[in-house]
Amino acid sequence: MHDGHQWDIVAWPAGDPGGARSITADDPLDADPRWTEDGADLLFTSERLGLPQVFAWRRADGATRQLSNEPAGARDGSVTPDGGLVYAATLADGYAVVGRSLMEVAQGTPDIGDLLMPASPRAAATAPVSTRRTGYAPWPSLRPHFWLPTWHDAGTAGRFGGAVIAGADAVGRTAYLVQLGVAPDRPRIEGVVDLNYSRWKAASVDASYEATWSPRLGVVQQTGDTVPLALIEELAATGLTLRWRRWRSAISLRVGGELEFETLVNDSPLSLQLGTRPDYVNGVISLSAYHATQPPLAISLEDGVSVGLRYRRRAQLGGSGWSEEWRGAVNAYVALPLPGFAHWVLAGRVAGGVSSGPNRASFDLGGESGDLVALLPGYAVGSGRRQFALRGYD
Q: How far apart are CA 27 and CA 20, in angstroms?
A: 19
Has residue 90 been placed in a domain?
yes
Q: Residue range 80-109: average pLDDT?
A: 77
pTM for the model: 0.63
- Of the given ranges (77-81, 216-220, 347-351), which has the lowest mean pLDDT? 216-220
**Highest averaged pLDDT of the listed ranges 12-26, 208-222, 252-266, 296-310:** 252-266
How far does Cα 248 stand from its chain's mean position? 18
Check residue 394 and give its pLDDT. 44
Query: 257 Cβ partners below 8 Å, 6+ apart?
Result: 237, 238, 239, 281, 282, 283, 284
> Do 99 and 165 sit in the same domain of this protein?
no
User: Is the confidence at residue 116, as pLDDT, over 50?
Assistant: no
> Do 198 and 345 sit in the same domain of this protein?
yes
More confident residue, 223 or 134: 134
Has residue 100 been placed in a domain?
yes
Q: Residue range 6-15: average pLDDT?
A: 78
Out of 107, 129, 151, a domain closes at 107
Mean residue pLDDT across the chain: 82
Q: Are 6 and 120 in contact (CB under 8 A)?
A: yes
User: Is the confidence at residue 92, as pLDDT, over 80?
Assistant: no
- Of the given ranges (53-57, 108-112, 265-269), which has the lowest mean pLDDT? 108-112
Q: Are 47 and 66 in contact (CB under 8 A)?
A: no
> Do 272 and 340 sit in the same domain of this protein?
yes
> Do 164 and 26 sit in the same domain of this protein?
no
Has residue 125 been placed in a domain?
no
User: Is the confidence at residue 107, as pLDDT, over 60?
Assistant: no
How large a percentage of the chain has pLDDT more than 70? 81
Has residue 120 been placed in a domain?
no
> Do 102 and 194 sit in the same domain of this protein?
no
pLDDT tier at 388, thresholds 50, 70, 90:
low
Q: Residue range 356-383: average pLDDT?
A: 62
Nearest Cα to Cα of residue 30 among 18, 20, 15, 45: 45
Check residue 135 and give its pLDDT. 82
> Do 204 and 149 sit in the same domain of this protein?
yes
Q: How far apart are CA 84 and CA 390, in angstroms?
A: 52
> Do 165 and 103 sit in the same domain of this protein?
no
How far does Cα 319 stand from its chain's mean position? 42
Out of 86, 107, 128, a domain closes at 107
> Do 90 and 182 sit in the same domain of this protein?
no
More confident residue, 389 or 358: 358
More confident residue, 107 or 266: 266
Has residue 122 been placed in a domain?
no
Rg (CA), the chain: 31
Q: Are 94 and 138 in contact (CB under 8 A)?
A: no
Check residue 96 and give its pLDDT. 85
Q: Are 238 and 205 in contact (CB under 8 A)?
A: yes
pLDDT tier at 389, thresholds 50, 70, 90:
low
Check residue 119 and give its pLDDT. 39
Has residue 236 been placed in a domain?
yes
Range of the domain at 93: 10-107
> Do 176 and 54 sit in the same domain of this protein?
no
pLDDT tier at 105, thresholds 50, 70, 90:
low
More confident residue, 342 or 148: 148
Out of 56, 84, 107, a domain closes at 107
More confident residue, 273 or 52: 52
Q: How far apart are CA 349 and CA 246, in angstroms?
A: 24
pLDDT, one tens digit per residue, over 226-257 is 888 899 999 999 999 999 988 899 999 999 99
Cross-strand bridge partners of residue 226: 219
User: Is the confidence at residue 392, as pLDDT, over 70?
Assistant: no
> Do 193 and 240 sit in the same domain of this protein?
yes
How large a percentage of the chain has pLDDT more than 90? 39
pLDDT, one tens digit per residue, over 265-287 is 888 877 777 777 899 999 999 99
- Of the given ranges (134-138, 338-342, 368-372), which has the lowest mean pLDDT? 368-372
Has residue 115 been placed in a domain?
no
Has residue 212 been placed in a domain?
yes
More confident residue, 259 or 155: 259
Overall domain count for the chain:
2
Check residue 367 and give its pLDDT. 54
Query: CB burial class (10 A; 0-12, 13-18, 19+) of residue 183?
Result: buried
> Do 63 and 158 sit in the same domain of this protein?
no
pLDDT, one tens digit per residue, over 297-330 is 778 889 999 999 999 999 999 889 999 999 999 9
> Do 266 and 336 sit in the same domain of this protein?
yes
